[in-house]
């Protein structure tokens, strides 16, 4: 057993780290402040192949493994968690289900556009009354000739106002409960598609989160993803992979907390010496570093298990649970190490503190991850 990244993975890490340091980090605070979507960064990322990381080369992507994908999301999130989540959703919640469940026509039509970043992807599952309990969704889809007519409201959709290709879920058979849910590939230009309110949030402010409203939205029959009734299965399996992305985002945020804390504690002097000389600070740094390392290996383990074609729901849930709680804990410690300065917008840790919390909520709350883990152990 070799616990080491391979040469290609190391190369990707170096390339994305350099890119993030030069092009993502310097504008992250400004985008957060202005709540501005990272359009320019996404264009540059597309040129590097980062918007089609997992898309097979025959459809214009880089065709990389899931560990490489995790590395990309960690390195981008280390500098900007908003850009990290947009990239994660685009790749694992939109490109992946099309690769896995799409027809050849759907793959040819949508994957090259996603890989080139010509359109950004979004995933619309959550509804006002269906969050953790996704099976309770009320959006309906009725086949009428060669079109589905879709009605309903989705909420909290990452990239909602910006996305051109959206994977959505709707009920096609009310009597069949979760087996009556179907998935569709929707374009924002379809008649009846509307962006609703854009939320003001605690963190990841540059990622744009909105409602999506479907009023007699017309979706061509050939845009059904999988078969009718496959939607719930598609959503759950997609979210398993998505959780590897969010866990990677959490590792990136936590690593940034550690980076900032090491630098600050070495230069901030109190009682005539750098605060890094105090054991209280050293222990916080040691605890952060240990949990980050453990989180990263849990992510790599989930990614590796996925790439082996094995079941990885439990591994992904463990990685997401532990990494997200590590991100929040690291952010709390990082602000503490920065003292009063850490509570101001002058310092990056203030943003990291706000950005960290969401990793415990989206793509399944920590409570839901514990349900997935215990469910797989107690069956
Ligand atoms: C910034 C942001 C971006 C998002 N992006 C997307 C997106 O792109 N696409 C998308 O579809 N969704 C997205 N979401 C939605 C997100 O996935 C949901 O918010 C999340 O799944 C929780 O659902 P909820 O908010 O309705 O909370 P609820 O489900 O109402 O949960 C409230 C609380 O109850 C707990 N709870 C619920 N059920 C149980 C249970 N059975 N046992 C124990 N505790 C339970 C939860 O853990 C939580 O603590 C996003 C949300 C946010 C805030």
CATH at 114: 1.10.540.10
Q: Which atom of ligand 1 is nearest to the CA of 368?
A: 47
Q: Using 50, 70 and 90 to split pLDDT, how confident is the model at 3?
A: confident
- Evaluate whether 320 touches 338 at the Cβ level (below 8 Å): no
Pocket of ligand 1 (CB under 6 A): 89, 123-126, 131-132, 156-158, 201, 204, 209, 358, 361-365, 367-368
If asked whether residues 86 and 213 sit together in one domain, one would say no
- Cβ neighbors of 150 (< 8 A, separation 6 or more) are 139, 140, 141, 168, 170, 184, 186, 192, 214, 216, 217, 219
Residue with tokens 């968690």: 81
Does some domain include residue 159?
A: yes
Give the residue numbers marked as catalytic. Answer: 363
If asked whether residues 219 and 254 sit together in one domain, one would say no
Based on the structure, what is the number of domains in the chain? 3
State the chain's mean pLDDT as an integer.
98
Residue 262 pLDDT > 90: yes
Does some domain include residue 1?
A: no
Nearest protein CA to atom 37 of ligand 1, as residue = 132
If asked whether residues 152 and 197 sit together in one domain, one would say yes
Residue 1 pLDDT > 80: no
* Tens-place pLDDT, residues 127-154: 999 999 999 999 999 999 999 999 999 9
- Any idea what the CATH number is for the domain that residue 189 is in? 2.40.110.10
Q: Using 50, 70 and 90 to split pLDDT, how confident is the model at 379?
A: confident
Domain boundaries, position 276: 239-377
Does some domain include residue 244?
A: yes
If asked whether residues 173 and 88 sit together in one domain, one would say no
If asked whether residues 101 and 40 sit together in one domain, one would say yes
Does some domain include residue 354?
A: yes
Cα 70 to Cα 5, 91, 322: the distances in Å are 12, 11, 15
Q: What is the pLDDT of residue 186?
A: 98
145 CA distance to ligand 1 centroid (A)?
35
Does some domain include residue 48?
A: yes
If asked whether residues 281 and 304 sit together in one domain, one would say yes
The residue out of 119, 144, 175 marking a domain boundary is 119
How is residue 98 written in tokens? 């099309």
Q: What is the pLDDT of residue 2?
A: 78
Q: What is the pLDDT of residue 302?
A: 98
- Among residues 263, 261, 259, 241, the alpha carbon closest in space to that of 251 is found at 259
328 CA distance to ligand 1 centroid (A)?
17
pTM over 0.85, yes/no: yes
β pairing state of 165-171 and 121-124: parallel
HSE-up of 175 (CA within 13 Å, CB side)?
0
* Tens-place pLDDT, residues 154-168: 999 999 999 999 999
Q: Using 50, 70 and 90 to split pLDDT, how confident is the model at 107?
A: very high
Nearest protein CA to atom 48 of ligand 1, as residue = 365
Nearest protein CA to atom 17 of ligand 1, as residue = 362
Does some domain include residue 2?
A: no
CA distance 254 to 353: 10
The residue out of 203, 231, 259 marking a domain boundary is 231
132 CA distance to ligand 1 centroid (A)?
5
370 CA distance to ligand 1 centroid (A)?
14
β pairing state of 273-274 and 269-270: antiparallel
Does some domain include residue 143?
A: yes
- Any idea what the CATH number is for the domain that residue 368 is in? 1.20.140.10
């Amino acid at each position: 057993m070799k616990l080491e990244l391979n040469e290609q993975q190391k190369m990707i890490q170096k390339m994305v780290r350099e890119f993030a340091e030069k092009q993502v980090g310097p504008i992250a605070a400004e985008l957060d402040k202005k709540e501005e979507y990272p359009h320019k960064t996404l264009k540059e990322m597309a040129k590097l192949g980062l918007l089609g990381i997992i898309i097979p080369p025959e459809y214009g992507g880089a065709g990389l493994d899931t560990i490489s994908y995790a590395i990309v999301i960690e390195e981008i999130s280390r500098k900007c968690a908003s850009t990290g989540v947009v990239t994660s959703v685009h790749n694992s919640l939109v490109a992946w289900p099309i690769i896995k469940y799409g027809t050849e026509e759907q793959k040819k039509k949508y994957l090259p556009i996603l890989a080139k970043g010509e359109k950004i992807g979004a995933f619309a599952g959550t509804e006002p009354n269906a969050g953790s309990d996704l099976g309770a969704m009320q959006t309906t889809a009725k086949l009428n000739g060669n079109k589905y007519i879709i009605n309903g409201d989705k909420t909290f959709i990452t990239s909602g106002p910006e996305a051109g290709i959206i994977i959505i879920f709707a009920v096609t058979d009310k009597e069949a409960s979760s087996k009556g849910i179907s998935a569709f590939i929707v374009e924002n230009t379809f008649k009846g598609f509307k962006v609703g309110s854009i939320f003001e949030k605690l963190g990841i402010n540059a990622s744009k989160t909105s409602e999506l409203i479907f009023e007699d939205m017309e979706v061509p029959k050939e845009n059904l993803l999988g078969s009718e009734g496959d939607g719930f299965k598609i959503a759950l399996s997609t979210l398993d992979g998505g959780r590897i992305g969010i866990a990677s985002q959490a590792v990136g945020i936590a690593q940034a907390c550690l980076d900032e804390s090491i630098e600050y504690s070495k230069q901030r002097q109190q009682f005539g010496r750098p605060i890094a000389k105090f054991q209280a600070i050293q222990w916080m740094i040691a605890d952060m570093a240990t949990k980050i390392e453990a989180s990263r290996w849990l992510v790599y383990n989930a990614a590796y298990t996925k790439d082996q074609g094995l079941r990885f729901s439990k591994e992904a849930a463990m990685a997401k649970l532990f990494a997200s709680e590590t991100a929040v804990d690291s952010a709390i410690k990082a602000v503490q190490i920065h003292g009063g300065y850490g509570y101001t917008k002058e310092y990056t840790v203030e943003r990291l503190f706000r950005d960290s919390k969401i990793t415990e909520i989206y793509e399944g709350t920590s409570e839901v991850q514990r349900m997935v883990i215990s469910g797989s152990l107690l069956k």
